[in-house]
Amino acid sequence: MTNIPVTTWSLEQTSPDDLLPAAAPEGDVRIVRAEVPSPEFSRFLYASVGGDIRWVDRLGWTYARWQEHLARPGVETWVALDRGTPAGYVELGAQDDGVVEIAYFGLIPAFRGRGIGGHLLAYGAARAWDLAERVPGRAPTKRVWLHTCSKDGVHAMANYQRRGFTLFATEVREEAEVAAPGPWPGAYPG
């Protein structure tokens, strides 16, 4: 197996005032919260968004592991719908001391390049900032962070910075190169 260098960048916002809006995309695009924890739906989003950019860490999760994860207080999935069809998602994960991670964010390939990503990211970050309003007993958010890497989409870093996220750490490490799995076996040649 071949190893490749992978650069991971960590970015943050330390105030809701850091969040910069994005223009709403054209057409009938809505963002809704998936309020019913559904391992099937969450795995669909994860595999469909990340299949061509080598998201593999959750592919081996069992149904029970997905259920356990989604049931945690402060884990939220916000879905962009284009005329009722899932176009992408942002997953929030509450951490200790008022910190919220944007754990996953992205668009299904067919919906990229249409302005949906910036809008979804801005909306998701705003929901990270007001997470305490939806999670009983949660302290107000004081930091929102995320990470992206050199395997992610070519526009990811620029989108994060345009939404007001600033870089706070960079790490380079060797990783085993894996083929892009696609949303189902054989979906992407390679």
pLDDT of residue 181: 75
End-to-end Cα separation, the chain, in angstroms: 15
CA distances from 7 to 31, 38, 49, 89, 105 (A): 30, 32, 20, 23, 18
Question: Do 46 and 181 meet the contact criterion of CB atoms below 8 Å apart?
Answer: no
Does this model's pTM top 0.75? My answer is yes
pLDDT of residue 190: 45
Residue 131: band (very low, low, confident or very high) from pLDDT cuts 50, 70, 90: very high
The C-alpha atoms of residue 58 and residue 147 are separated, in whole angstroms, by: 16
The lowest-confidence range among 72-76, 105-109, 178-182 is 178-182
pLDDT of residue 180: 72
CB atoms within 10 A of CB 100: 28
pLDDT of residue 185: 65
Give all domains of the chain, ordered by start, each with its CATH number: 3-176 (3.40.630.30)
CB atoms within 10 A of CB 11: 20
Closest CA to 102 of 111, 110, 93: 93
CB atoms within 10 A of CB 50: 23
